[in-house]
Amino acid sequence: MIRSRSELGATRRWVVKIGSALLTADGKGLARESLADWVQQMAQRVLAGKQLILVSSGAVSEGMSRLGWQRRPTALHELQAVAAVGQMGLVRAYETCFMKHGLHTAQVLLTHDDLLNRERYLNARSTLRTLMELGVVPVVNENDTVANDELRFGDNDTLAALVANLVDAELLILLTDQHGLFDADPRFYPNAKLISESRVDNELLKQVAGDSVSGVGRGGMATKVRAASVAARSGAATVIAPGRSDNVLSRIAEGEEIGTLLLPIQGPEAARKRWLAGHLQVRGRLILDAGAVRVLRESGRSLLPVGVKEVVGNFSRGQVVSCVDEQGREVARGLVNYGSLEASGIMGRPSTQIREILGYMDEEELIHRDNLVLV
């Protein structure tokens, strides 16, 4: 687990995300000179024996440029179409640049559904790790052409963080058109100071992070702070760095104080629990009493039916549900042993009564601790 900037260069596996505003010259087509410069820096690390995954925005923006559209579409079918057009130019640009350094690339398109399904999650993990072992640079993007609103990651910052979890990356780098994260909005407060380094759980981060104002991408500082929290689940640190600064990736590797470094608060979680924590969508909610919340947080034990006050939603056995306190704050999420109908029948009851109520008992726990992760 990274504890200081001096350790960044020694890390073996990076996930680098480049935002739309950088890649498309603020929406005016691909910034090919800048793209070639970033590729050169990434290639240096790969040729030195390191591993790297690139998560690239820009497909929709490049498609807009090719089609001559001035405003980002809002209709899903138009977004999917323009993304399909843009992917062609984006991937070709990366392939051309990496080939100049003797490196192969591989396009990997993901939807949230790929990470919801345990088997597909493991397949994606194996594929990405194999590509890196072969010295290939995977270029990852959301599969905009098929993803619907329900299955979207929402932004590529989140996608990059989940990829970092997926492959056990040590460092997530989010290149942006800003200098990093400030203690106040520098657009309105000229004396705002850059936050050079912080733990990812610092409450100040959420207070100062704002939304995107470029009009090109879907992200903003708020999504980057959330992404850093997601990446921290696997022990990865996050650097939010100015993509337009000269040799920005090389300077990060050298430990130079550039951008904002967000440090994790703990080491990697078990891979299965990272998979659970990475689920952006849950199928229902279990509202817990104060005693159950305390047991989960302090003792790391399983969730029993007796601690559940209310069951919300329609879900089946084996699906992911959210566990919340009586104020609606999420405490944990996990794979439930009983469907919503059965859970409603046994909630608030001791496990010894499950067989009497349902006529059978698969498990005495509503969620076993091995299938539960605190959030």
User: Which tops the pLDDT comparison, 289 or 155?
Assistant: 289
Query: What's the pLDDT score for residue 25?
Result: 65
Q: Which CATH number fits domain 5-274: 3.40.30.10, 3.50.50.60, 3.40.1160.10, 3.40.50.300?
A: 3.40.1160.10
Start-to-end CA distance of the chain, whole Å, equals: 19
CATH of the domain spanning 282-374, picked from 2.40.50.100, 1.10.1530.10, 3.40.50.2020, 2.30.130.10: 2.30.130.10
Q: Which two tokens stand for residue 344?
A: 């409603």
pLDDT (tens digit per residue) in 301-352: 999 999 999 999 999 998 899 999 999 999 999 999 999 999 999 999 999 9
Mean per-residue pLDDT of the chain:
88
pLDDT over 70 at 214, yes or no: no
Domain boundaries, the chain: 5-274, 282-374
3-state secondary structure of 259: coil
Percent of the chain scored above 90 by pLDDT? 59
Q: Which of 62-76, 86-100, 189-203, 289-303 shows the lowest mean pLDDT across its residues?
A: 62-76
> What six digits make up the tokens of 362?
């698969």
Determine phi and psi for 257, rounding to 5 degrees.
-80, 90
DSSP string, 39-97: HHHHHHHHHTT-EEEEEE--HHHHHHHHHT--S---SHHHHHHHHHHHHHHHHHHHHHH
pTM reported for the whole predicted model:
0.79
